[in-house]
Amino acid sequence: MDVIESMKKEMIRRKLSHRTIKTYLFYVRKFLLFCKKDPKEFSKKDIRDFLYKFMENEKAGNSINVALNSLRFMMEEVLRKNMRLGIRYSKTPKSKPTFLTKEEVKKIISVINNDKHKLIVQLMYGAGLRVSEVVKLKVNDVLLDENIGWVRKGKGNKDRPFIIPICLKEQIKILIENNKLYLFPGNKKSHLTAKSVQCIVKKATKLAGIKKNVHPHTFRHSFATHVLEEGNDVTAVQSLLGHNEPRTTLEYIHVVKPKMLSIKSPLDNL
């Protein structure tokens, strides 16, 4: 049995992202080098021995968790074997997301001279888009009359709407009129690459004199933080960001806490 090919077919059938497929296959190949048995003979002990060996050399909790998920998928979904190992997931310390103040966002945008590049950054911040989402935007995904656009097959292979900042409508309209497929075309009849946007952001951050570690996703973090700061409902923000669970959106509450502290308890007014 070709485990790699079987896994690949099953993951494609389930419409897992290309990145997830690539990562899962990476760890399964590592396991196959470790365990020379026929796949039909793989046991929980083999998996456990590999993971313990893997943990000796790998300190990052997230990598260990991904390796465990990869092997669980292989065992349960491809080989149809029980995978209750009794191994606890390694905890990965979570750092608070880096965000920019509104003034810092203005500074970065103001130093970008190329109108198309500036518009990309404005959309990442103004609509809370991931860099992969903004570069893949198609002309047909934007509904200017309704002030919304659609992310097609975003994270988790899901479609979701996003708000179009009214101040950007005229610029977007020009792009729609001048482009046939992608809003931000690149070379070879494809779209602009995420790497190009990363370079744009890095250069602009340096020119603006911002010392924070700013990358494209920082604008999405800033969007979430500022929208919550303005008192918008968490569930509404969750929908705009495409988060599956409210707790993911609540990670941005850390910066809103000072404003929450100014709210009086109703008990104090009795």
Q: In the annotation, is 264 catalytic?
A: no
Q: In the annotation, is 89 catalytic?
A: no
Q: Could you tell me the sign of the dihedral formed by the alpha carbons of 179, 180, 186, 188, in that order?
A: negative
d(CA 177, CA 150): 18
Give SS3 for 182. strand
Question: Which residue of the set 8, 220, 221, 226 is catalytic?
Answer: 220
For 51-111, the DSSP string reads: HHHHHHH---HHHHHHHHHHHHHIIIIIS-------PPPPP-PPPPPP---HHHHHHHHHT
Question: Which residue of the set 117, 118, 130, 226 is catalytic?
Answer: 130
Q: In the annotation, is 215 catalytic?
A: no
Q: In the annotation, is 130 catalytic?
A: yes
Question: Which residue of the set 48, 81, 155, 203 is catalytic?
Answer: 155
Question: Which residue of the set 118, 191, 221, 243 is catalytic?
Answer: 243
Q: In the annotation, is 18 catalytic?
A: no
d(CA 117, CA 239): 26
Q: In the annotation, is 155 catalytic?
A: yes
Active site residues: 130, 155, 217, 220, 243, 252
